[in-house]
Structure 1
C-alpha cells in the first residue's frame, strides 16, 4: 500500500466529492497522491444500489485522479454499533498510508452517519499517533499534520478556503457521476438529493468564494483558525 498526501474519508460514496472534489482535483493536478475511504457501501440509500454506486464512484475516481479508493464495508446506518472496529481500521489505514492531511465530514450534519464518521476519524487521527495503541512494528505510530472537516449538508464560516474557480466545471462533472443520487430516474424516489441539491452545493461554494474574493471556493474547518490557499 503506497503512501498518500491526502486521505479523504466519508460515510458513503459521494460524501467526499460533495465537500472536497474541487480541492482534490487541484491537488491531483499538482501531482499529489489522493486517497478516498468510504466506510460503507451506502446500501440503505433510497435510490440506486451497491453495484451502481460503486460504478459511479469508479467514474468519479477517474475524473478526480484518485490514487487509491478504499471501502471498509461497514454497515450503513450502523456505524455507532461498530465504532471501535471503525476507529481501529482507520488508525491502521492512516499508519499504512501516512497522509499529511486527513479530511472528514463536518461534525454537525443532518445525516447521523456523517456525524459518526466525523467523530470516528477524529479519534482515529489522535490514536494513530499513540505508540501503545495497536502497536505494529511494520506500521509504527503516525499522526497526520492536519485534520480538516469538509461540508456536506451544513455550512458555517470556514477557516480554510480553497479557490476552486478554475476547475469548478470539473467538480460538477465529478458529482454528476452519481446520477442515481442526484437525478430522478425511472423507478427512483424523490429525496433531498434529487431536489436541487447540486444547485445548493454551487450556491454554498459561490458564497464561500464571495467571502474569499473569488468566484468559487470550498471551505473547511480545523482544530484552530488558519487559512490555506490550497491543500
Structure 2
C-alpha cells in the first residue's frame, strides 16, 4: 500500500467528513495523500442501505479531491465485541501506510460507536509503535507523529483549530453527498442527522472560527501537549 500523510478514522462512512472534511480538503489541495478508514459499513443505520452509503462515500471521496478509503467491515454497534481485532487490524494499516497524522473521533459522544473507535484508535496508535506488538502482519513498528481527535456530535473547546474558510462550501458539498443521512426523503425515518444537523455543523464551525479570529474553523483536541519549535 502507498503511504499517506493523514489517516482519518471513523466508525461509519460520514463520521470523518462531519468532523474533518475541511482539513482533508486543504490537505489534498496541498498535494498531501489522505486516507479514510471506516471500521463498519453502517449496516444498522436507520436510513439508506449499505450499497447506497458506499456510493455516497465514493462521491464524497471524489469531492474531497481523490483519497484512499478503507473499510474493515466490522459489525455496526458491535465494535466492543471485536475490539482486539479492530486494534490489531488498525495497527497493521498504520504500519503499512505510515501516516504522519491520525485523526479519531473525540472520546465523548452520544453515539457509543464513536467512543469505541476513539479508544480503539488510541490503543492502535500506541501499539503500532511497540516493536514486539504482535499484529496480524510482520511489519516494523511505526508510530505517527500526531493523534488528534475531531468532533462529530460533541462540542468542547478545541486546543487545535484549522482555518477552513476557503473550503467551507466545499466541505458542505462533501457532506451533502450523504443524502440518505442528511435529507428527508420519502419513507425515511426522522433522526438527528436529517433534522437540522448540517446547520448545527455550520454553527460549530462558525463558533470555532469566531473564537480563532477567522470565519470558519474545524476544531480538534490533542490529548498531549502540542509541541512547537517557535512561536
TM-score, structure 2 as length reference: 0.96
- Work out the CA distance in 2 between the residues paired with 1:136 and 1:188: 40
Once the two structures are superposed, the pairs formed by residues 177-196 of structure 1 within 5 Å of their partners are 177-196=177-196
| Cα drift, residue 223 of structure 1 | 1.9
1:221 aligns with: 221
Q: 1:130 to 1:46 in 2, by over 3 A?
A: same
Contact 1:159–1:227 (Cα < 8 Å) also in 2: no
Asked if residue 64 in structure 1 is aligned to residue 64 in structure 2, the reply is yes
After superposition, what is the alpha-carbon deviation per residue over 1:159-201, rounded to whole angstroms, capped at 9, x for unaligned? 1100000110000000000000000101111000010000000
- Gaps in structure 1 of 5+ consecutive residues: none
Separation in structure 1 between the aligned mates of residue 218 and residue 103 of structure 2, nearest angstrom: 13
**Are the structure 2 counterparts of residues 26 and 227 from structure 1 closer, same or farther at C-alpha, using a change threshold of 3 Å?**
farther
d(CA) in 2 for partners of 1:93 and 1:101? 13
Per the TM alignment, residue 29 of structure 1 is displaced from its structure 2 partner at its CA by 0.2
Q: Secondary structure at the match of 1:103?
A: strand
Per-residue CA distance 1:186-227 (angstroms, 9 max, x = gap): 111100001000000000000000000000000000122439
Q: Contact 1:208 / 1:217 at 8 angstroms: preserved in 2?
A: yes
| Partner secondary structure for residue 56 of structure 1 | helix
The 3-state SS of whatever aligns with 2:26 is helix
SS in 2 for 1:38: strand
TM-score normalized by the length of structure 1: 0.96
- Pairing of 1:1-231 with structure 2 (within 5 A): 1-134=1-134, 139-226=139-226
SS of the aligned residue for 1:9 comes to strand
CA drift of 1:136 comes to 7.9
RMSD: 1.4
Deviations 1:69-105 (A, max 9, x none): 0000000000000000000000000000000000000
Deviations 1:34-89 (CA, angstroms, capped at 9, x unpaired): 00000000000000010000000000000102431000000000000000000000
Gaps of 5+ in 2: none
SS at match of 2:23: helix
Count how many residue pairs are aligned between Structure 1 and Structure 2: 228
Aligned-residue offset at 1:134: 1.6
Ranges of 4+ aligned residues in structure 1 off by more than 6 Å: none
